[in-house]
Structure 1
Amino acid sequence: MNYLKLAFLVLFVIPSVVMGQKVINSNFLGNWANSGTGAWEYGFYEDGAVAFSDFWKYKRVGFGKKRMEVVLENGNQTIELKIKQGKNGNISIARDGAKGEVFRPCDGKDFVAWVGDDTVSFSRPLVITDTVTIRGYIRNLDKVILPALRGYTFTCSYNGLLEEDDGEIVVPVDSSGRFTLRFTVSAPQRVGLAWGRMWKNIIVEPGETVLLYADASDWKAVPNVSKEEMINGKKDVLFMGKNARFHQEYTCFPYPLWMRDMYELREIAHSDMEFLRLAEADYLKSVVCFDSICGKYPNLSKRCKVAIENEWKYRFAATLMQNRFNLGRRQKFEPEYMEYVDSHFSVNEPLCYFITQHFSTFLRDYTSYVDHQKFRYVDGVGVVYIPDDRFYEALRRLKEGGRFEELTTEDIAICENINRKILDLSRRQTTDTSAFQTVVADKSMLYGKVNAYRSVPEVREQEEVITREYELLLYDTLVPDLLLKELCYAQLFMTGMEYDHKPLLPGMMKLADARISNPILNRKVKQASAVYQKIADKKLAYEASLIDVGQFSHISDADSLWQALIEPYRGNVILFDFWGSWCEPCKDMLALMGDIEKVFENEKVIFMYFAYSSPEETWKNVIKEFDLTGKNIVHYNLPPLQQQMIIEKMEVRGYPTYKIIDKAGNVTSRVLRYPLRPQSVINEIKAELERE
């Protein structure tokens, strides 16, 4: 008996070595949830353990009959665990001398019957900025056979506070299946997690640490499984951390594949209201699914129910407002359509901006739809039409501030009245020139004198400020909540900078400070302005790439213009790129062109860029940002009429448009894909170079 006891004790203190050796009794391998709470707290694997949202090495492991003692190590920290086998496959775990608790085997393939209610609400957004840490362990990664599934990276994509903040983080997964990534958030934020052929969406909060477990043996790929199985099939995914319950429940809800998008619905709907009813039927199916799951699991956490209910609701809402892109010349929906939207959805849901994917889309498209009607509610006046020309208001403000003493307020008022009548005649498409002459009458010299101020920089800046004030008025009218209103303000300033590709001028910065009081949003706007200021201050590496188009001003027909533009480059293969500084896909493609240009920098190849409807300063700043200058690069920013000639000559049907011109100056029939696949562009250019 003494010998047996001695043998037991000796066996119990056999030291474990480092991670990588299989040292755990198979009875204790796997994931274990606390039976008292339902929470996953421990995972024991062949090469290490997880606990307290972190990875641990086995420092020492000892075995006895139906028991095990383990010392886990993480840096300077250690945990001592005494583990015993219990009944029905359960185990007891006592940590650091405390009383043992019962744990049961667990997986993440379905909802867990959590103990008790979780009434925690989402944290208040835009109060603090803090780091989110996501650690992960992908088990059985070494057993994945299909090459398409052996992607040793983990991707976290996120919708930022503002559209310009959207992005993704890609980190490597090490050979043991582990990874760690960190990023900062200032509000509850929905993020997408993707690895192999699995993806999950969760909502993280500032300061949170999440540990994710997944089993790579669950990875499947089409055509081996259906799309439904690949997306909504049960998979072993677990979460650990303070919000683990919420994450687990949220990810167990199915993705509503039955909800058709705008493109699918427009193919079968013959009217606005038919489109609405089809989308509504899809949404009501989601409501039935949601109610069924809530009925089966009545103590689902408050955050989970709020997040899922609003995610599906505002997906429906976003689809309805996306339908505005199918209006064409009609401009407006049928009255019943917008009555339905207004009675079922609200643009005043600040929390939904952060925790759903689709609310921001709904908000953007709803406000844009209203904006395109060109009407505003003005305090004390009511709903009025706001004209596009802010020039005369800018003049008045500057004069009131002490500028332009040579102008009288009466001069400005007379010219504004003339301009209003001219605009009215233009809207009515009047072709009688005498009607315009009658409007101007004997004030033509005054009208010309006052309108000369349009080119004065401070007038243009003041016009921009006034325009932005009217744009902000849209959100003042539609969005009562201050935080959501300021988010809309900030988005407007950020979008404006991206569109203009230039920093905020002093007047615009003053307006931003006056309207955006939230320090986090205010700081984001100023940081973006600083980025564009840095671009504006940048010197062009090769100024000769920007061609002086004044030399072509005398040319009035498309063929002659085209020949003059390409004449200096005959004998070279030319890549023709027609783009616009306002066009996001164009700029996305320009960002990829640098690597293609380098391939041919010593070849007889010219990269010829034509800008369309792009202001001079904005045009130059885009070129500076992407470093698109060099000896084999030329840029043209022609006057509007000549731009139109090139559009017709080169049969431009969209932006960007690419064509290859042969050495003789002829447009080839080569089909060019966007530079998202740079090698295909490179191959086409090489093929043309080699052609005799």
Structure 2
Amino acid sequence: MLMFLWKILIFLLLLHKIISYNLNLDIFNLISIFMKRIFSILVGVGCTLAAFAVAPISENQTPRMLNTPSWDGFDVECYREMDFVKPGAKTHLIGKLDGYDPLLEYSVVEIYSYDHLNEKRNVEVAELDSAGNFVVDLPLPHPQTVTLIFGRHYRKVFLMPEDTLKYTTSTTLRDPNDYSRAIYSKFEGGDAADVNIACEFMCDSLNRYKRRYAVVNDPDSMLVINAKIKAAFHDAVDYLNRTIPTFDMSQWAKDVTFSRCAADVYLPIVDMDYYYRELKYNFEDRDGMTIRIPNPEYRPLDYSKYFNDRKDYLAYIYDNPLILCGDNLIISRIVNGSMFYLHRAIAAGGNVLEIVNGEFRLKSETILKDGESRLQKLMELDERCERNFGIGNCFMSQLAMTYGVVPGFKNIPEFSKEMLDYCKMGASVILSEISYKGLAASVIDGVSDIAVGLALKEARQKADSESRTISDVSDVLAEIISPYKGKVILVDVWNTGCGPCLSGMLDQKGFIKEYADSPLQVIYVAEERYKEPCERWIEENEIAGEHVYLTQDAYAHLSADFNITGIPFGIVINKDGEIVSSGHPFFQIDLVKSLLNK
């Protein structure tokens, strides 16, 4: 189009010159020049259209529109049950990178998702074929915006559990300096596709409401910037309320679109809070370590003024479970921000340290008074937030409390009855404050996991008491194989610190399953002093076969008998009890198969 306009301009200038300075030319010359100009313009237009025909389409999809706008408006009460949470679910993503060249420096797409109910990040890697296609089944316990990274590019895409989304994006950028904005993206599917299309469609319009900001060590300036961003947020909400009803998509898709876009515009407010708190400390290198020291020039921000009208944003942000559908960053900023970070700390049963006059001290708000319980302290925090900010107990405060306990439940170093009782007590405190079903279920599941872990440990201990531990050093191999006369035996010596051992045992799972009905016995042998990590790895990876542990002396004798200088080490015994071969187990599988097939 620009080329066409340029041709028109040149033609007009030439025509002006002819009329102004060459009036002595006859009419035939004028017509000839005029026809040449017309021909040149037509050639230019043809080239332009040809270029557009082969170039990628630069327009994003347009949402389907309704003749009569329809939307009941966003109602957070519809989502208190959090029925959209699907623990253990997956989503199917079929992707294509238009313009991908296999000679580029990347050959995979990394997909980053987040389980917000358990504060756990997940990364999946999908291989690209030569045409830029990729397919991945992604664990997705709840609807959310994931990040796709390929080379220096990254894209934000909304996905839903138990769904399939077809996604095509161009590797050509709108702005060479912005690796997140492709010249076009295409989506095919159900509600997830509709949400992505609507958000892409409104992106440029919403950018008008996003205020640029710089964090400065000046509380007054921060309040002024904050006021401008809040005003822009309300304008953005008005725009969303006018625009979203015109889209032909489900109520759910409209609610998610509203929540994602509102959170995106609101992000700078909590982002500024995060960066301003970072100004409280300076960082110094001391003896090769980076430490934080107080910033003497730091000027505290009056958060009762900064967050004084949060009630206006309660239904949109703070008490809206659909915030989980948006970018992970805003959730992290709010949960760990000035308003709710104490909820998380107290729920976890810990204390928060702060630097006062160059010394670490316990933050007074987290210290339990005599006779005060954690529940009372959390209720006191809710009252303070209600008084100072207009927001008390809400979805985000409950999520902060969930973060205080659930990740700890998932990372218990040692299961015990005492630990289970302690976690049950902590869970009961949190559940007294939680009203959202999805968050409560996450807490209960965490305690259940500990109970299951304890039961497995007890079962393992019972099994361990019946397992074979060999200490006889007279003939260690004979002791190992004695229960399995008449069978073809593969003895595999291993340890958890040996990578080839572990990969070999995983590879043998298929072989053992294939010959499950044959006279095959695989015996895995390890040192008794490494029994606990070995048993844990065996259980996690469901390794079948007999597991035998040798005392240090017995292991030393077996090593001397077979000159074992490295592991994995295998010994093959035929049905007559004769040693047929010894060496690396990988190279003995075919021999074992031939003995079984005789």
Compute the TM-score of the two structures, normalised by the length of structure 2: 0.46
- Highest Rg: 1 or 2? 2
TM-score by length of 1: 0.41
